[in-house]
Chain A
Amino acid sequence: MRYLPILCVVVIWQVLSFSGVIPGNRLPSPVNIILGFTELLTQGLPPGYALAGHCIASLKRVLSGLAIAIVTALPLGIAMGYWTRARNYLTPFVEIIRPIPPLAWVPIAILWFGIGDRSSSFIIFLGAFFPILLNTIGGVLSINRRLIESSIILGAKKRALFTKVLLPGAMPSIITGVRIALGIGWMTLVAAEFTGVKSGYGLGYMIMTARDIQRPDQIIAGMVVIGMIGYAMDFGIRQMEHKILKWR
């Protein structure tokens, strides 16, 4: 029942396309998009490059960029959340670099890392780093001060404090940050791949090829694939969130 409105829109769209009201070369009909999608599966785009290969290549890039972002932002975020001085000194850097859109870094990334996986992972890292950092800081700051003070009084060393009090306490906020980071990273990746990828595999690259051979039906089919994968990843994180936060 929830999907009825979407279904109605698709049906109306198909009727308008079929009757010629919507020109087929500007906006393909839903049927043509589905046919284009099957071609992506059977033939591949460019011909011979399977859709699965594109998906895996893009996922690898986004997950590696995300992993680096988590590994760097988490400790830094906890430190900045706990120590006021660190927060004060480092925040200006964050506030200046954060507003620069990851896509603006693409020319520099290519200059530094070339057209391989490293430059796209770098772009993802830039997009994913800041949401995780800020949410970690916020998460630490939101922990009840008494909890921290009691732990110190009870003899907790720094390491135990960080891993047994601060990290779990900030976890809900951190997970939200990771969810946001993944979303941003996924969106940025596709555009970053537009400039070209060395392996010849990538969903953004695939869409660029569809543009090259002028198949708007496959452009949109590719966009739908990207949207669905993004949705599936977000769903996965929300499931993990339930498990990790069971102690709440």
Chain B
Amino acid sequence: MKKVAVVASLVMVLLGALISMAASRDVRLGYLRNDLHHLAAWVAMDKGFFREEGVNVEIAGIFNAGPEEMTAFASRSLDMGYLGVAPSATGLANRSARIRAVALANAEGSSVVVRKDSAIKEVRDLAGKTVAIPGYSSVQDFLLRKALEAAGADPKKVNIIAIKPPEMIVALNAKQIDAFIAWEPHPSKAVTMGIGRVLISSPMIWKDHPCCVVAVDDSFYKENPQVVKSFLKAHIRATAYIKKNPEDALRIGMKYTGMDEATVREAISHIQYHYFAKEDDIKEYVRYLLKFGYVKSMNVDEFAREYLDLKAIKEVVQ
């Protein structure tokens, strides 16, 4: 009797192990609230691409900005996430979280917005004014400074403050700030609400600049490389779907942001959905982080290699 019991339990344990290996591992995913840059994630969820590739995605967090999502990575609450290059690179550089960027989510898709009736006609006119960014060391922080320098204005002469995007339009309207830079759909929303107009957009500041990436927790990546690959397959399918089915992508964008059609349509028109990131672009970001003192000194090339890992997506695309 005892022998039977022992053998039976061993069989149960083995079966259990086999079953859990075969079953898909949950991916705890994070993304930014109302950030149309992350449309591929929403499309993959809505059309069932993740499910078809055998990935169980659990939404573990919807965040107001990149740094908040990085804090979630640091506390091991996320396995994968969509967020900007700048906050994810800063987090890795400051050793707050061990993540790798395994794919691009989008390029471009940010704009500087001023009040509709404002006297500000060029970027140079922002000197001495108050401009809001979503947070320090964000993609938009970089873009704003890059635009100011290109226009010959000194970023130090501009009052740059950080407020969360939902509050930017209100602050602009109330004349608390003179301009803001944010990701879509906030600039488009300011325009469709009749409050603001676009001063300058991504393509004029840095054509084709990478914006958001698909990031993965390093330990999760090492333990579940297949899951990450399957996730990326779904991400690639979703990215292609957006190009081929703009009307359905628009519907999904409206569903996940709750915003009206005009705003979402305008916003999507400014975003480029690609999935390949270029190492040179990453190095450009890192140099900026160093220049503005957001990270301590480091070897740019080494860091870019540590941050960007395109091995998986290259295998998938083959």
Is B176 engaged at the interface, CB distance under 8 Å to the other chain? yes
Q: B137 to A26, Cβ gap below 8 A?
A: no
- Interface assignment of A215: CB less than 8 Å from any CB of chain B: yes
CA A73 to CA B83, docked complex, whole Å: 48
Q: How many residues of A contact B (CB 8 A)?
A: 27
Complex contacts, A200 vs chain B, CB 8 Å: 159-161
Tell me if A114 and B171 are in contact (CB < 8 A).
yes
Residue of A nearest to B294 (CB): A213
Q: Does B164 interact with chain A (Cβ within 8 Å)?
A: yes
A198 at the interface (CB under 8 A from B): yes
Bound complex: CA of A86 vs CA of B204, how far in Å? Answer: 65
| Closest Cβ–Cβ distance, residue B128 to chain A (whole Å) | 14
With A198-B176, A212-B137 as contacts: A115 and B74 at CB distance below 8 Å = no
* Alpha-carbon gap, A34 to B138, bound state (A): 26
B: number of interface residues (CB 8 Å): 37
Interface membership of A183, Cβ < 8 A: no
Q: How far is the CA of A116 from the CA of B177 in the complex (A)?
A: 10
B241 within 8 Å of A (CB atoms):
no
CA–CA, A46 and B293, complex, Å: 9
**Residues of chain B lying within 8 A (CB to CB) of residue A198:** 130, 159, 161, 176-177
Nearest neighbor of B295 in chain A, beta-carbon distance = A213
Known: A46-B136, A47-B293, A114-B176. A214 touches B163 (CB 8 A): no
A226 contacts which chain B residues (CB < 8 A)?
none
Are B90 and A214 interface neighbours, CB within 8 A? yes
Name A201's closest neighbour in chain B (CB-CB): B161
B9 within 8 A of A: no
User: A66 near B: Cβ within 8 Å?
Assistant: no
Interface 1/0 per residue, B49-68 and A, CB below 8 Å: 00000000000000001011
Give the shortest distance, in Å, between A194 (CB) and chain B (any CB): 10
B 290-305 contacts with A by CB, 8 A: 292-295
A214 touching B96 by the CB < 8 A rule? Answer: yes
Complex-state Cα separation, A38 to B293, whole angstroms = 14
How many residue pairs between the two chains, A and B, have CB atoms under 8 Å in the bound complex?
Answer: 82
User: Which among B74, B136, B176 is the interface contact of A26 at CB below 8 angstroms?
Assistant: B74
- In the complex, chain A residues whose CB is within 8 Å of the CB of B91: 214
Cβ-closest chain B residue relative to A25? B96
Residues of A near B174 (CB, < 8 A) are: 114
Which residues, 155 to 176 on B, are CB-close (under 8 Å) to A? 156, 159-164, 167, 170-171, 174, 176
Interchain nearest-CB distance for B106 vs A (Å): 21
**Which of chain A's residues have a CB closer than 8 A to the CB of B135?**
212
Indicate if A5 sits at the interface (CB-CB under 8 A).
no
| Interface pair A25/B95, CB less than 8 Å apart | yes
Q: How far is the CA of A214 from the CA of B94 in the complex (A)?
A: 7
Complex CA distance for A116 and B170, rounded to whole angstroms: 13
**B98 nearest CB across to chain A (Å):** 8
B65 contact set on A, CB distance < 8 A:
212
CA–CA, A26 and B97, complex, Å:
9
Main secondary structure of the interface of A (DSSP, over half): loop
Asked if residues B171 and A212 are in contact (CB atoms below 8 Å), the reply is: no
Bound together, the chains give a CA A89 to CA B167 distance in angstroms of 39
Which residues of the partner chain A approach B87 to less than 8 Å between Cβ atoms? 212, 214
In whole angstroms, what is the CA distance A215 to B67 when docked?
Answer: 11
**Distance, CA A48 to CA B95, complexed state (A):** 23
Q: Are B74 and A214 in contact (CB under 8 A)?
A: yes
For B161, give its contact among A47, A197, A213 (CB under 8 Å). A197
Closest to B159 in A: A200
Query: A209 touching B167 by the CB < 8 A rule?
Result: no
Separation of A26 and B74 alpha carbons in the complex (Å): 7
Write the A16-30 contact mask toward B (1 if CB under 8 angstroms, else 0): 000000001110000
* A208-B162 contact, Cβ under 8 Å, with A26-B75, A114-B174, A214-B94: yes
Question: What is the minimal beta-carbon distance from B232 to any residue of chain A, in angstroms?
Answer: 25
Q: Tell me, yes or no, whether B70 is within 8 Å of chain A by CB.
A: yes
CB distance from A109 to the nearest CB of B (A): 12
Known: A26-B74, A114-B176. A196 touches B162 (CB 8 A): yes
Ordered by A's residue number, 30 sampled pairs between the chains whose C-beta atoms are within 8 Å are A24-B95, A25-B95, A26-B74, A46-B136, A47-B293, A110-B170, A111-B170, A114-B174, A115-B163, A115-B177, A116-B176, A196-B132, A196-B161, A196-B163, A196-B164, A196-B171, A198-B161, A199-B161, A200-B159, A200-B160, A205-B162, A211-B68, A211-B71, A212-B138, A212-B162, A213-B67, A213-B94, A214-B90, A214-B91, A214-B97
Give me the 7 closest cross-chain CB pairs, A-B, nearest first.
A196-B163, A47-B293, A214-B96, A212-B135, A114-B176, A212-B136, A212-B67
Known: A47-B294, A196-B163. 17 other contacts (CB 8 A): A24-B95, A26-B74, A48-B156, A114-B171, A115-B171, A195-B163, A195-B167, A198-B161, A198-B176, A200-B159, A200-B161, A212-B137, A212-B138, A213-B90, A214-B67, A214-B90, A214-B94
